[in-house]
Structure 1
């Protein structure tokens, strides 16, 4: 229920509010498109310091948000208790990425080095821009590095390292 390794969970969103009086919740989804969070029938909500499994019974896109109805959450008061809870799934629920494709959660925390071996820091998070994704690398200073083939020359998940063709002075 909530005893698995914390690294086995992948964050997909957060319960952001109430929808109606019947126990539905509003969800802020990190998936693209937003309603893809509804593809997973089991959600894990962070309740305090543990993850608790909830079955997703119904859900739909509602404007820019997603609304969902979870098993055992039958009224507004029960739904209110979930506001602010992170929503995750287990890593096993995700499809395997194709070769050369990565989940953002797998890149966060990797050490970033130039092709010449100079350390730049660690991937703190990623941002989506209109053109491409961007690595936010925290080191002696923050760097924004485009996640494109011309710049990212290697990703070694087992070794915990990402190699970039990037001027360390930039």
Structure 2
């Protein structure tokens, strides 16, 4: 099965000629149309998207082939737009697509399995990996070098420092005495 990556979502109609507003999840919002035809979540519909202009933030207006009036544009509101993972360029060293991280097994440096990455979130302060153990609640791990020192996409795993999983007990320090704080 071909993996797909969501690049955006239609958030509403723009004007009376069938243009739509799209919230883009690409590094440059205007680039959402550069990846070729997009598909809906089920892969049943194809969308040939032409970006008309950047609105603000991560929103652009776009024309979709075959959509020529406001009613047709409004009917697309909420439609998630996907592309095949193969259509995306390779990530730079040290950079990863969220879609490539989901499903990796989180392990300690000693090889103990902590769980699987079920999602990647960004609540504004940086990327967080949601790791779900075999039983129990998910744990959020900051996706930073100190917490996740190694990502092995080919091997299907990533290393997680136990201190970020178990708190101070994982370090054995109890109160974090081994941490330095600059003032």
User: TM tier, shorter chain?
Assistant: 0.7 to 0.9
How far apart are 1:45 and its partner, in Å? Answer: 2.5
Matched residues in 1 for 2:7 and 2:48: separation? 15
Q: Look up the SS of the partner of 1:37 in the other structure.
A: helix
1:93 paired residue number: 87
Structure 1: where are the runs of 5+ without partners? none
Cα distance between partner residues in 2 of 1:34 and 1:83: 18
Q: Which has the larger radius of gyration?
A: 2
CA distance 1:78–1:131, change in 2 (3 Å): closer
Deviation at 1:100, TM superposition (A): 3.1
Do the aligned residues in 2 keep the contact of 1:12 with 1:89 (CA within 8 Å)?
yes
Give 4+ residue runs of structure 1 displaced > 3 Å after superposition. Answer: 33-36, 129-132
CA displacement at 1:130 relative to structure 2:
5.3
For normalisation by structure 2, the TM-score amounts to 0.77
Q: Distance in 2 between matches of 1:66 and 1:147?
A: 29
Q: Structure 2: give runs of 5+ residues left out of the alignment.
A: 168-183
1:45 aligns with 2:40: yes
Against the structure 1 CA distance between its residues 66 and 58, is the aligned structure 2 distance closer, same or farther, given a 3 Å change threshold? Answer: closer
Measured in 1, the distance between the counterparts of 2:78 and 2:123 equals 26
Classify 1:166/1:63 alpha carbon distance in 2 versus 1 (closer, same or farther; 3 Å).
same
1:60 equivalent in alignment to 2:56: no
2:173 aligns with: none
> 1:102: Cα distance to partner?
1.5
Deviates more, 1:29-38 or 1:12-21: 29-38
Matching of residues 97-136 of structure 1 within 5 Å: 97-128=91-122, 132-136=126-130
- Provide the C-alpha distance between the structure 2 equivalents of 1:57 and 1:13, rounded to a whole number of angstroms: 13
